[in-house]
Amino acid sequence: MNASQKELIKATVPILKKNGNDLITYFYQRMLSNNPELKNIFNMANQASGKQQNALSGAVLAYAENIENPTVLINTLKSIGNKHVSLNIQPEQYDIVGNHLIGSIKEVLGDLATTELIDA
């Protein structure tokens, strides 16, 4: 990631602070309605309570805030990795999540989701 891309990511912090949870809620609705086979992976009680959305929006915000030094997130990333291993998450599932996350960013942010930002 180059310096310009890092600046674009850092510029999203105010948006993520204000609307990150709405974005992630939209993302989960989009993904789970288009890929219902993933519902067995996600805790639906945590989906209903908003706990899952809060966790992911917090993680995305933390990444954007720490784009210059992502090593501060190592303990969180280890915890996420351990959870994914315990759930036997497969590489193709990351592709599905990534496609829906990028799609959600484009749909929710509209014109603010420039090609440069999406590439970053």
Question: pLDDT tens across 16-45, in order?
Answer: 999 999 999 999 999 999 999 999 888 888
Task: Tell me 80's DSSP state.
Answer: H
Residue 120 covered by a domain: no
How many domains does the chain divide into? 1
Mean pLDDT for the stretch of residues 82-90: 92
Question: pLDDT tens across 46-84, in order?
Answer: 888 989 899 899 999 999 999 999 899 998 889 889 999
Task: Tell me 114's DSSP state.
Answer: -
Q: What's the domain range around 55?
A: 3-111
Q: How confident is the model at residue 104 (pLDDT cuts 50, 70, 90)?
A: very high
Q: Who contacts 49 (Cβ-Cβ below 8 Å, separation ≥6)?
A: none
- Domain holding 31: CATH number? 1.10.490.10
Cα dist from 16 to 27, 66, 105, 113, whole Å? 14, 13, 11, 13
